[in-house]
Structure formats: C-alpha cells, structure tokens
Amino acid sequence: MPGTKLDDIDRMILAELQADGRMTNVELAKRVGISAPPCLRRVRTLEESGYIRGYHAEVDARALGFEVQVFAMVGLVSQAEVDLAAFELKCQGWPLVRECHMLNGEVDFVLKCVAPDLSTFQSFLTEQLTSADNVASVKTSLVIRGAKDDPGVPFDVLEERLAKNA
C-alpha cells in the first residue's frame, strides 16, 4: 500500500508541509517532535524520493484579474497513445490551461482553465482548443463559485488505513 514505506514522522512532516510549506525547519521539527538537523535530512530525503514534488504559493486568481474559471471536457477523435500524448503536450503550451487530466469514460480529458474575462476564454476556446488536431468535441462549464479547494491528500484517511492494517 502506498505510504507504508514512510514512518509516522515522515507522514507528519508531509502533512505539516502540505498545510504550510513556508514554515521554517525549526518550526517543522518542533511540530513533529524531533530536532532540526534530522528533520532537515528527512525533508531532503522526502524531496529526493519524490514524495515532495515542489513548493508554491497559493495565489488568488481573482485578485490578479483572472475572473473566469472554466472546466472543459474534451473528446478526441483518436485515443491512440501517440495522439493522447500529443494532446497533453499541446496543453502544456496553453497558459490558460492550469490542469489537464486524462479520464476514462465518455470524456477523454478535463481541463481546468482560467482567464481574465469571458472573451479571452472564448478566443482560446475557438482559436486554439476546438481547432487543435484530433479534438472532436469540447463541452465547457463556467465555475460560479468554489466551495472547496484542498491541495494534496487527506492524511487523516491515510493514518486510518494504516491503523487498520497494523
């Protein structure tokens, strides 16, 4: 099961950094109950092992003038691996696309897009997304408001699963 290679301290470090990636190593060590030098070594090991992929600031898109958020459900003509990979690569180059997820089922991809206004998104939709190679259909849903946007994973669920299997 994922997460079993990590001990309790490693999981606490991950949970704390997920909640606040800006805290100092000294504060992190205090929160997880170890001294600073071994805490820093553990963080570096978690980074090198790929458990921590990076650090970022949570930016308020609306405060920066990005008033429009849209989810676009994209259907492709072909689902051959080369065509899926080509579409994913195309998404990497579109700045308005903030997330791209391949799905199973009726829709091949869901894209999370942000734009300063509706006309900017509409231009992207008509001039780039719907006209891209292999795109058969695009259905969009404009976000009215968000009720939850938690990053990462629920560590309490992980701990419950580990306790049941112990």
CA-to-CA distance for 88 and 103, rounded, in angstroms?
Answer: 12
Q: Predicted confidence band at 165 (pLDDT cuts at 50, 70, 90)?
A: confident
* Domains of the chain, residue spans: 1-58, 62-142
User: Was domain 1-58 assigned CATH 3.40.30.10?
Assistant: no
Mean pLDDT value of segment 55-74? 95
CATH code, residues 62-142: 3.30.70.920
Q: pLDDT for 41-62, tens place per residue?
A: 999 999 999 999 999 999 999 9
- The string of DSSP letters for 57-103 reads ----TGGGT--EEEEEEEEES---HHHHHHHHHHHHT-TTEEEEEE-
pTM of the predicted model, to two decimals? 0.87
Mean pLDDT value of segment 88-103? 98
Contact 124, 115 (CB under 8 A): yes
